[in-house]
């Protein structure tokens, strides 16, 4: 219990703010909504940046962490492309019209939890734990790959639907 308490109190405040934002976005996504395209890209961009930021983090004694990151990113990129959330486009305003779904809330919490675990492992000084470093890079790569794929799918679908006037 002491370990968990220490982890929680040493977590930077911005992490809790980010979690609150992601949960709030997920809860909002459970209701039908209309949003501008730039707003629909905020959560994917946050996770892409978070995933990419881990590439150079920690010791770089071997290429395996980078290989794990790239392999995981390439593995999940197609999943992101293939699992776009359905939407329509309001041709007058250019905004996205989405039905409600719990998918975003579940996805946000799962991805946040995985990235948080990677951050905790890194903060504990996992420098002598090569497997932990490789798994951490793979999770970060998978996160970035998935959200890059979903962003590509969203932008392609938005462009296609906007042109259907």
Q: Tell me: the pLDDT tens digits for 95-115?
A: 999 999 999 899 999 999 988
Tokens of 83: 């699992």
Beta bridge partners of 46: none
pLDDT attached to residue 78: 95
pLDDT attached to residue 4: 81
The list of the chain residues with pLDDT below 70 reads: 56-60, 125-129, 165
pLDDT attached to residue 150: 92
pLDDT attached to residue 10: 86
Q: Evaluate whether 58 touches 133 at the Cβ level (below 8 Å).
A: yes
pLDDT attached to residue 2: 86
Distances in whole angstroms, Cα of residue 96 to Cα of each of 28, 44, 113: 14, 15, 28
């Amino acid at each position: 219990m002491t370990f968990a308490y220490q982890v929680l109190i040493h977590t930077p405040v911005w992490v809790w703010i980010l979690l609150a934002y992601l949960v709030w976005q997920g809860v909002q996504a459970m209701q039908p909504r209309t949003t501008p395209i730039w707003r629909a890209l905020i959560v994917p961009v946050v996770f892409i940046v978070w995933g990419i930021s881990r590439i150079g983090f920690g010791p770089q004694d071997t290429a395996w962490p980078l290989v794990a990151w790239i392999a995981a990113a390439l593995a999940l990129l197609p999943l992101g492309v293939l699992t776009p959330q359905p939407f329509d486009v309001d041709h007058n305003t250019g905004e996205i019209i989405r039905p409600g779904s719990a998918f975003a809330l579940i996805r946000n919490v799962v991805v946040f939890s995985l990235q948080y675990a990677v951050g905790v492992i890194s903060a504990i000084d996992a420098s002598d734990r090569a497997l932990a470093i490789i798994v951490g890079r793979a999770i970060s790569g998978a996160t970035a790959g998935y959200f890059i794929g979903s962003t590509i799918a969203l932008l392609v679908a938005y462009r296609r639907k906007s042109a259907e006037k």
